[in-house]
């Protein structure tokens, strides 16, 4: 399995202005009088290719907005470097960086209609075809019903689309979007998300989208930077992050339903490693080769990688009891319990199968999909 972070997407039709964006050991410490210092960003390195779309994904408070604001020039940098192409921009004022920012809080001019707000900057710069471009982008972001409205009359979802459109029409080489779709309802969000991705491809902006929503991140991004506590935990394609998580945080944060996390003990015999689960509930083979016999480990198995067999069928795995079973549309979810353990195992089952509470079943998984993590640090064991 590859852990390379080579950019998967090389834009072919993007504008000549598409630029790489490189962060090196970027740090932000907020120091406020009378309060403790907060280091919100703790040394981030990211090399983003020209025209690439990167999603910065992480829980609330992990430093996403701070990172974006430093790149935009809306927040000073404590230390480290920000380069657009070969140009160091971390000490430049925001207006000199050539960055389009889709922050919601960005002011609109209250007396002007949405359309005029969007055209304002373009007309000032005498951009050719401005009206046509604004009309086309607004059409694609489903904004036709709001073009004549004034900002005060807009709903939060509408304001958010205006902020997005305003960033897009400026056609910046680098585009930064902070939770751009959070106020849209579910169906509009899905459509606008798709259009955003198509527009990003057409225009070729190098883009960072901040989100705490993994579906949004997975659907938009060429690569994901998964953040926690001011640190990028993993930077890779959606498949790399899902299939080959660097640590327990990433494994738990990405994936729906969430990965199963269970305590286990490694048993090494004849060069093969198995993990024993519970006191007498069986074991699973794993592809991990670096753990010593008897090591306590944290075991991670995705519900999608598990399968169930009837007890007594001879299948190797963990003996469990079905606690409950949910029929969803395209699949089922069986929640099972392991004797003497708090942690259960959730198994995604094929649509046509059905299970009853109290049913005894064996949970199996392919060895290469049975992940082990260090009990203390959460680092992936290989």
Query: Which residue ranges make up the site for Mg ion (CB under 5 A)?
Result: 65
| Distance in angstroms (rounded) separating the CA atoms of residues 318 and 345 | 10
281 binds ligand ADP (CB under 6 A): no
CB 174 within 8 A of CB 22: no
Q: Quick one: 41 exposed, middle or buried, by C-beta within 10 A (0-12, 13-18, 19+)? A: buried
| Distance in angstroms (rounded) separating the CA atoms of residues 278 and 269 | 19
DSSP calls for 30-93 = E--TTS--EEEEEEEEEEEPTT-EEEEE--TTSSHHHHHHHHHTSS--SEEEEEETTEE-TTS-
Residue from the set 62, 168, 284, 318 that interacts with ligand ADP by CB under 6 A = 62
63 binds ligand ADP (CB under 6 A): yes
Residue 100: CB minimum distance to ligand ADP, A: 19
177 binds ligand ADP (CB under 6 A): no
Residue 225: CB minimum distance to ligand ADP, A: 12
Cis peptide before 257 (omega within 30 of 0): yes
Residue 124: CB minimum distance to ligand ADP, A: 31
51 binds ligand ADP (CB under 6 A): no
66 binds, options ligand ADP, Mg ion, none, Cβ within 5 to 8 A by partner type? ligand ADP
The owner of tokens 């920012």 is 101
| Distance in angstroms (rounded) separating the CA atoms of residues 263 and 379 | 15
233 binds ligand ADP (CB under 6 A): no
CA Rg value for the chain: 25
62 binds, options Mg ion, ligand ADP, none, Cβ within 5 to 8 A by partner type? ligand ADP
Closest to 257 measured CA to CA, from 310, 316, 199, 300: 300
257 binds, options Mg ion, ligand ADP, none, Cβ within 5 to 8 A by partner type? none
260 binds, options Mg ion, ligand ADP, none, Cβ within 5 to 8 A by partner type? none
Closer Cβ to ligand ADP, 58 or 344, answer by number: 58
**Partners of 87 in beta bridges:** 84
Residue from the set 46, 64, 204, 282 that interacts with ligand ADP by CB under 6 A = 64
Residue 60: CB minimum distance to ligand ADP, A: 4
# binding residues, ligand ADP (CB under 6 A): 12
| Distance in angstroms (rounded) separating the CA atoms of residues 156 and 367 | 48
Closer Cβ to Mg ion, 65 or 237, answer by number: 65
Residue from the set 20, 65, 160, 281 that interacts with ligand ADP by CB under 6 A = 65
Backbone dihedral region for residue 158 (phi beyond 0: left; psi -120 to 50: alpha; all else: beta):
alpha
63 binds, options ligand ADP, Mg ion, none, Cβ within 5 to 8 A by partner type? ligand ADP
Residue from the set 27, 30, 83, 309 that interacts with ligand ADP by CB under 6 A = 30
Note the residues at the interface with ligand ADP (CB under 6 A).
30, 32, 38, 40, 58, 60-66
């Amino acid at each position: 399995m590859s852990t390379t972070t080579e950019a998967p997407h090389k834009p072919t039709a993007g504008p000549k202005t598409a630029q790489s964006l490189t962060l090196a050991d970027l740090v932000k410490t907020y120091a406020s009088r009378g309060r403790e210092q907060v280091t919100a960003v703790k040394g981030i390195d990211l090399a983003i290719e020209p025209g690439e779309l990167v999603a910065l994904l992480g829980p609330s408070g992990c430093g996403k907005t701070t990172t974006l604001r430093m790149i935009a020039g809306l927040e000073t940098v404590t230390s480290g470097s920000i380069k657009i192409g070969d140009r160091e921009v971390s000490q430049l004022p925001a207006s000199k960086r050539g960055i389009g920012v889709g922050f919601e809080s960005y002011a609109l001019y209250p007396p002007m209609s949405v359309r005029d707000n969007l055209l304002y900057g373009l007309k000032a710069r005498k951009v050719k075809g401005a009206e046509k471009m604004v009309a086309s982008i607004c059409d694609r972001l489903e904004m036709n019903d709001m073009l004549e409205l004034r900002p005060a009359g807009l709903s939060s979802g509408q304001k958010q689309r205006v902020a997005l459109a305003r960033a897009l029409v400026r056609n910046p080489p680098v585009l930064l979007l902070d939770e751009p779709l959070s106020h849209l309802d579910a169906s509009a969000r899905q459509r606008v998300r798709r259009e955003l991705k198509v527009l990003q491809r057409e225009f070729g902006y190098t883009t960072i989208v901040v989100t705490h929503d993994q579906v949004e991140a997975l659907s938009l991004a060429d690569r994901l930077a998964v953040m926690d506590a001011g640190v990028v935990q993993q930077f890779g394609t959606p498949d790399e992050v899902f299939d080959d998580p660097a640590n327990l945080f990433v494994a738990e944060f990405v994936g729906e339903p969430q990965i199963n996390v269970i305590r286990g003990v490694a048993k090494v015999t004849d060069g093969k490693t198995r993990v024993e689960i519970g006191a007498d509930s069986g074991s699973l083979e794993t592809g991990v080769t670096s753990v010593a016999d008897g090591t306590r480990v944290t075991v991670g198995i995705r519900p999608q990688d598990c399968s169930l067999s009837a007890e007594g069928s001879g299948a190797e795995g963990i003996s469990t009891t079905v606690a409950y079973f949910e029929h969803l549309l395209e699949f089922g979810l069986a929640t099972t319990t392991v004797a003497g353990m708090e942690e259960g195992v959730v198994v995604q089952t094929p649509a046509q199968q059905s299970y009853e509470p109290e049913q005894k079943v064996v949970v199996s998984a392919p060895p290469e999909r049975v992940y082990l993590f260090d009990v203390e640090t959460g680092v992936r064991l290989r």
